Amino acid sequence: MKFNSENYNKVKRLADFVSKTWDPKMKWMWGEALLGYALDELDKENGREDYTKFLRAYCDHWAKMDPAVDQSDTAAPGLITYAMYKRTEAEEYKWLTRKVLDYIRYEPRLYGDCLNHLGSSKKGRIYPKSVWIDSVMMFSVFTSLYARENNDSELLDFAARQPKQYAAMMFDEEKGLWAHSYWVNRKAAFPGRDLFWGRGNGWVICGFPMILDNIGLDHCEAEGIIDLFRRTSESLLGCMNEDYSFNTLLKYKSYRELSATALIAAGWLHGIRCGYLDKKFLEPAVCAFEACVNAMEEGDDGIYMTEISGPTIPLPLLPKLGYKAVPLGKNWSYGIAALIFAAIEYKRCLEG
């Protein structure tokens, strides 16, 4: 398959639209964090600094606000602050990054090395203590990157152990897919009954190759992560729609969800490039990425990624309906991030 520069450039135009029209005083939250990280990765891929001003304005705003870091969602912005610290060596960005690192290092553990997803936040006092698959992107990707670049073997091992410990709680060995969460009070994955959330499995497929890049293939946990990555990928092949997209619930009739589709495309392309996956995944991966690009809307008022489900939590009551009832929207931050990750890997895999 050949690299189509227009597919890549369309995603680049979306990134440009965001940086030029969005207020950089975005929330100190996971979606904005992933978007900022993706923008910086796109800059690195292109050898430019198109988004540095936007991302620095974000960091400058939050340096004045002293944000709370009290859960997975509010730890994720360390991805932006660390990226901007490396570009500028600004002390305030280093301080923000340290707040995140201190939380991850010292927050009490629920299971092995795993933290309560909602932590000590207001939501965390109400919602059952639980580990969520989302945290593989929020905790392990950032810590593995920071640890590798700062020779922190203790933090690197923490990041490397996360996938195996998550699998013990949330990976369905028979189905080869991941539950959304693990509830400590139930001592079980939740929700059960084959309710495998598309974007949650997307976090796994996109995040695991990133972790492997950082811990290195000689790490004792690498082989296990690759095995989980391959087994999940094989199961996901059977969940694709005819147009190569994925639904918000992988095993039940539900709506097409393109943030999950983009995450899976990104991870598969990354895995093929690094030799973790067989080339049979190339066509599905490229077609999944193209399904997302083809659904984009571009007009006089801007450019939009479509069919992104809103923030999603595992609900104690009627969980299947809870997933299907989450509305679709356009240009959710984390959906754009997923599409940028996919575009970068599309270019690296096919052009390189």
Each residue of 114-138: pLDDT tens digit? 999 999 999 999 999 999 999 998 8
DSSP secondary structure string, 110-163?
EETTEEPTTTTSHHHHHSPPEEETTHIIIIIIHHHHHHHHTT-HHHHHHHHHHH
The answer to whether residues 237 and 264 touch, using CB atoms and an 8 Å cutoff, is no
Please, is 236 exposed, middle or buried when counting C-beta atoms within 10 Å of its C-beta (0-12, 13-18, 19+)?
A: buried
Q: How confident is the model at residue 111 (pLDDT cuts 50, 70, 90)?
A: confident
**What average pLDDT score do residues 178-194 get?**
93
**What average pLDDT score do residues 240-266 get?**
97
Q: How confident is the model at residue 1 (pLDDT cuts 50, 70, 90)?
A: confident
Calpha distance 37→82 (Å, rounded): 9
Calpha distance 331→173 (Å, rounded): 34
Question: Does pTM top 0.75 for this prediction?
Answer: yes
Pairing of strands 114-115, 109-111: antiparallel
Going by the DSSP 8-state scheme, the letter that residue 108 receives in this structure is: P
